[in-house]
Amino acid sequence: MSAWACRPLSDEERRLNVQKVISCNEQKKEVIFLQNAANKQVEKTFLFDKVFGPKAQQRSIYDYAISPFVKDVLEGFNCTVFAYGQTGTGKTYTMEGEMKFKGGDYSGDAGVIPRAVRHIFDALEAHKADYSMKVTFLELYNEEITDLLVTEEHSRILDDKQKRSISLMEDGKGGAIIRGLHEEVVYSANDIYNLLERGSAKRRTADTMLNKQSSRSHSIFSITIHVKEVTLGNEELIKCGRLNLVDLAGSENISKSGVREARAREAGEMNKSLLTLGRVITALVEHSGHVPYRDSKLTRLLRDSLGGKSKTCIIATISPSVLCLEETLSTLDYAYRAKSIKNKPEANRKVSKSVLLKDLYSEIERMKQDVRAAREKNGVYIPHERFTQDEAEKKAMGEKIEHMEFNIDLLRKEASKFEELYQAEQERNLDLESEIQKYEEISENSKKALENLQGIHNMTNLMLKEKEFIISNLLQSENAILRRSKQMHSNLENASQDMSLLLAKIERQTKIGTENQGLVLNFGSQLDQSLSDLHKTVIGSVCQHQQALRSIEEHVRSFLVAKSEATRNLELRIAKIKDVYTSGVQGMKKLANVLEEKSSSDMEQMKLSISAQMIAIENFLVTAIAEAEHVLSDVQTSLVEQKELLVFSAQQQEMGLQQSLVSTQVI
């Protein structure tokens, strides 16, 4: 697991108006690097398991990264938390924080260690567990281990040899045992807080150009807990878990931190540990066969936490300032790689209480022997067994010294040779130094030139990219034009084929046109002829028709005259008959009147004869009228027939005329 903690800009950085190049997105778990340089914006995003921005509380870091480990430690796991980052980015702040404890409790600014301590005690008390706890606090400085829990008083009593007697030994299981490290048994959180205050005060610090409070040492605070567990068979087992809280030294490189001469070794050693840590991480990430744990004490101590059975969390601390940019990016990269290391967490084997007691008894026995030896043998502080062992070691050392002295003689001789060489070299060196100076000037100039060139290079790169873009566009357009031209070429070929076909067609059509022209001319003259003939015919037929019409008119007129004459005669005859009739009727009436006067007897006969006479006259008149009507109807019928004939002949003439006109128009 890995987490990121970015501190806020310090007061000094704010006062100097230092640019901020890092921002954190806690929700998205992203660290975003954003910088404007030479009108170019560079942005890079790193994704982590958890990110804490400048406003994050100490409590949230603890709750997320460390809190789950407390439960694991009580279950018998070994867990390690280590803080990695540049000097002054907040490693100690994150791990220790405010180390003042009021009324047995920590403040809001307290770091991971005091919170873990309180949490562990609270958990043990909540479970009413039967436990024992011991802590160690060590510092690794110049590949030397210092016990931070040894009091000044105790340290004054110990001689130099004993002070240096803390050593690392292999435990035979791939781990390391620190011989001579003081383990303090603790019973309360307060006990630990006191030890912490004591240990922190002891941590060495030295000034550098970056941070006056900077620490160039690694510190490891370990809490080992034994918890009793009663099994179903009433056997008492002991679970043993350990929490290691590691505050690494600043990760910056030597030249930047301004460490010089006397500190060079110190920085070198510090870097040896960090460099080896880096190599171990690389080897684990790349699954190399060989992991160089043994190359530094730090990696020997943390071996189990790097790819081993421990549960591990790295808290990488960074600064948002542009001044720390280079180191921030290297920290980002370093921790990003470390993130992918896969441990295989495994709980420590539970041991029975009897086995543990046996171990403890043998330890007590060993210590008792030490005490007895110190009391009984005046001036000798170690047991006989260890004395003989030391004597044997001394003898071996004596032989070794003799051997070394012989070697030293040889080396001295060689050294004098080397001294001569050295003198010669010194002279050469002087020459070289002056040359170097010259070269330095040249290199300074070259650097400037390089910077300029880099600027130009960047510009050129940009232009190159632009040109590449334009060229790619041009190539695309060229391809499009080629495709278009090919298409046009094929279109042109088709068009020329169409043209030749069209020309042939036009030729054929001109030929047909001239033929048609001749035909049209011919047809025109023929048509003219026909039209004039037709005109003549029409005129002739019109004249004929007019003559016929005139004769028909005359005929009708004479017929009408004849008929009107006959009608007049008939009318005259009818009028005459009418006159006769009226005069006869009047005569009859007169005769009747006479006869009436003569005899009434003859009256009857006479009436009969008169009525007979009247019927005869009436019949005659009816017949005459019928005849007259018959004649009249005959006259009328012939008149109607004559009229129809006239109308028909007129229609015939009109139709003839219209046909001749239509044929003239068609032509």
Ligand X SMILES: Nc1ncnc2c1ncn2[C@@H]1O[C@H](COP(=O)(O)OP(=O)(O)OP(=O)(O)O)[C@@H](O)[C@H]1O
Q: Tell the smallest beta-carbon distance from residue 264 to ligand X (Å).
A: 18
321 binds ligand X per the rule CB under 6 A? no
DSSP string of 199-218, one letter each residue: HHHH------SS-TT---SE
Residues 104-163 that bind ligand X (CB under 6 A): none
From candidates 114, 250, 307, 320, binder to ligand X by CB under 6 A? 250
Decide if residue 60 touches ligand X (CB under 6 A): no
C-alpha to C-alpha distance for 103 and 113, rounded to whole angstroms: 17
Query: Does 87 show up as a binding residue in the annotation?
Result: yes
Can residue 221 be called a binding residue for ligand X (CB under 6 A)? no
CA–CA distance, 355 with 188 (Å, rounded to integer): 26
Question: Min. distance of Cβ 441 from ligand X in angstroms?
Answer: 36
CA nearest neighbour of 130 among 356, 325, 457:
356
Can you give the three-state secondary structure of 469-500, one letter per residue? HHHHHHHHHHHHHHHHHHHHHHHHHHHHHHHH
Reading the block at residue 634, the tokens are 């005959």
Any idea how long the chain is? 667
Q: Taking the CA of residue 157 as centre, how many other CA atoms within 13 Å lie in the half-sphere pointing to its CB?
A: 5
> Taking the complex as a whole, how short is the minimal distance between the CB of residue 471 and ligand X, in angstroms?
50
Measured distance CA(196)–CA(249) in Å, rounded = 18
How many CB atoms within 10 Å of residue 340?
Answer: 11
Segment near ligand X (CB under 6 A); pick from 213-221, 263-271, 622-630, 654-662: 213-221
The least distance separating ligand X from the CB of residue 416, rounded to whole angstroms, comes to: 44
Q: E-assigned strands of 248-399? A: 311-318, 351-352
Structure-block tokens of residue 517: 């022209």
89 is in an annotated binding site: yes
* Identity of the residue, 178 or 270, whose beta carbon is nearer to ligand X in the bound complex: 270
Q: In Å, how far are 131, 298, 405, 449 from 267, measured between CA atoms? A: 41, 14, 31, 33
Shortest distance in whole angstroms from residue 247 CB to ligand X: 7
Packing angle, helices 384-598 and 601-666, rounded to 10: 140
> Can you tell me which of 25, 165, 188, 213 binds ligand X, judged by CB under 6 A?
213
Question: Shortest distance, CB of residue 6 to ligand X, whole angstroms?
Answer: 8
Using CB under 6 A as the binding criterion, the count of chain residues that bind ligand X stands at 17
CA–CA dist 252, 451 (Å, integer): 24
Select from 138-146, 211-219, 287-295, 453-461 the region that touches ligand X (CB under 6 A). 211-219
Q: Which is nearer to ligand X, 7 or 297 (CB)?
A: 7
- Which lies closer to ligand X via its Cβ, residue 87 or residue 299? 87
The β-bridge relationship of strands 236-247 and 351-352 is antiparallel
Q: Is 92 within any annotated ligand binding site?
A: yes
Specify the 3-state DSSP secondary structure of 98.
Answer: coil
Q: Does 2 bind ligand X (CB under 6 A)?
A: no
Cα–Cα nearest to 242, from 156, 289, 301, 165: 301
Residues 74-93 that bind ligand X (CB under 6 A): 85, 87-93
* Residue 582 assigned to a binding site: no
- Rounded Cα distance between 95 and 621, Å, is 165
The reply, when asked if residue 651 is annotated as ligand binding, is: no
* Distance, CA of 375 to CA of 362 (rounded, Å): 20
User: What angle do helix axes 67-74 and 112-126 make, rounded to 10 degrees?
Assistant: 50
Give the closest residue to 49 by CA, choosing from 81, 83, 1: 1
Of 87 and 305, the one with the shorter C-beta distance to ligand X is 87
CB of 76 to ligand X, least distance (A): 31
Q: How far apart are CA 158 and CA 150, in angstroms?
A: 10
Q: Choose between 165 and 213: whose C-beta lies nearer to ligand X.
A: 213
Q: Pick the stretch among 3-11, 135-143, 191-199, 518-526 that binds ligand X (CB under 6 A).
A: 3-11
DSSP-derived 3-state class of residue 332: helix
Among 8, 68, 292, 345, binds ligand X (CB under 6 A): 8
Q: Which string of x and - marks every residue 445-484 that binds ligand X (by CB under 6 A)?
A: ----------------------------------------
Which single residue brings its beta carbon nearest to ligand X?
90
Q: Is 224 or 321 the residue whose CB approaches ligand X more closely?
A: 321
Instruction: Please state the closest distance from residue 295 (CB atom) to ligand X, in A.
Output: 22
- CB nearer to ligand X: give 133 or 316: 316
CA 461 to chain CA centroid, Å, is: 27
Cβ proximity to ligand X, 82 vs 121, nearer residue: 82
Task: Name which of 114 and 250 has its Cβ closer to ligand X.
Answer: 250
Does 85 appear as a known binding residue? yes
Cβ distance to ligand X smaller for residue 64 or 581: 64
Residue numbering of the annotated binding site = 85-92
Residues lying near ligand X in the complex (CB under 6 A) are found at: 7-8, 10, 85, 87-93, 211, 213-215, 250, 317
Residue numbering of the annotated binding site for ATP = 85-92
